[in-house]
Structure 1
Amino acid sequence: MHWATGLLLFVATVLGMEGFAYVAHRWLMHGPGWFLHESHHRPRHGNWELNDLYAAIFAVPSIMLLLGGVQLGWWPGFAWIGAGIAAYGAIYFGFHDVIVHKRLAHRYLPKSTYMKRIIQAHRLHHVVETKHGTVSFGFLWAPKPEDLKAELKRRNRVGVRAPVGAPAEHETDPVD
């Protein structure tokens, strides 16, 4: 396989993974897989949460495609696709776990409009503690925060947690 074709497969896979991540997050993690993902919408105690098992689960196809494409004589394009899945996983880890959730200590402050937008969208996703009623399921692309806030208001703030330190019947709007 020509390297340019492989590179095209790699880039297409990285971009396509955002669509896969949206679908998996929206209908799997906030659906039948909530029993694992719920830990991610609660305060974390320690370095790990049950939701981390999704990283291992989603790594299996990448590993299999890389192994098959490189070592087992499968179509070489599978190696490029497996590498694209792994690259998306690495990008996701960097954005989601390191930058947004600060699971590794850093002093990075977002300056670009893009970075501020995805961080704020993810935080708005996390103001909802329940399986239903949340917004913004993608990660490398996110709707405008003002659109997400309007959607949370339209849904009557179903599942939205009270601000930290406030009683449950707090009168202020935690979304504004």
Structure 2
Amino acid sequence: MTWLLYIAITIAVFLCMEGVTWLTHKYIMHGLLWYLHEDHHQPKYQGVFEKNDWFFVIFASLCMVLFYFGTIPHLNYLFFIALGILLYGIAYFMVHDVLIHRRFKWFDNIKSPYLKALRKGHKMHHKHLGKEHGECFGMLFVPIKYFKEYLKH
């Protein structure tokens, strides 16, 4: 029974991370910590890393702390919270940095309507170069209007 609970915790955290991402993106990245996120909204990357990449470091650090305390004095629920965050982070990296922004040229010729809709939603987010008037702050849940565009084709 314990392993089923741990699996459920991992899945629940993974799913909840979309909400955390939306809230963090809208109110922290486009708010208090805009100075870290601003370079991400510029047309061209200025190098291999952006200031925006510090958000990865912040979430990864939280994850490492949870993994650590999730093994003391024995494996416990904190480990599986960290696992859910880690799995979401991997999915976020693959979608955001690889698929959408093409920081790594791993996937060419995407045909999936879902993945095309993800790209479109994020492109709509980036049409605003400033922190105001943003849209599509999430990552894995696609607004239905973009998904419908690609289901027609």
In structure 2, what is the equivalent of residue 76 of structure 1?
76
Once residues 115 and 13 of structure 1 are traced to their aligned partners in structure 2, the CA distance between those partners, rounded to angstroms, is: 22
Rg comparison, structure with higher value: 1
Higher relative contact order (CA 8 A, sep 6+): 2
Cα displacement string for residues 81-125 of structure 1 (whole angstroms, at most 9, x for unaligned residues): 001101100110000001111111234222121111111000110
2:13, 2:81 within 8 Å by CA — same for their partners in 1? Answer: yes
Q: TM-score, normalised by structure 1?
A: 0.78
Once residues 105 and 49 of structure 2 are traced to their aligned partners in structure 1, the CA distance between those partners, rounded to angstroms, is: 15
Matches within 5 A, 1:1-176: 2-42=2-42, 43-70=44-71, 72-73=72-73, 76-143=76-143, 144-145=145-146
List, as ranges, runs of 4+ consecutive aligned residues in structure 1 with deviation greater than 4 Å.
none
Moved more, 138-147 or 127-136: 138-147
Q: TM-score, normalised by structure 2?
A: 0.90
Q: For residue 74 of structure 1, report the CA deviation from its aligned partner.
A: 6.6
Once residues 56 and 107 of structure 2 are traced to their aligned partners in structure 1, the CA distance between those partners, rounded to angstroms, is: 25
Q: For residue 145 of structure 1, report the CA deviation from its aligned partner.
A: 3.1
Q: Which amino acid aligns with 1:82?
A: A
Once residues 29 and 142 of structure 1 are traced to their aligned partners in structure 2, the CA distance between those partners, rounded to angstroms, is: 20
Aligned-residue sequence identity (percent) comes to 35
2:98, 2:107 within 8 Å by CA — same for their partners in 1? Answer: no
Once residues 147 and 82 of structure 2 are traced to their aligned partners in structure 1, the CA distance between those partners, rounded to angstroms, is: 36
Q: RMSD of the alignment, in Å?
A: 1.7
Q: For residue 60 of structure 1, report the CA deviation from its aligned partner.
A: 1.7
2:36, 2:52 within 8 Å by CA — same for their partners in 1? Answer: yes
Long gaps (5+) in structure 1: 148-176
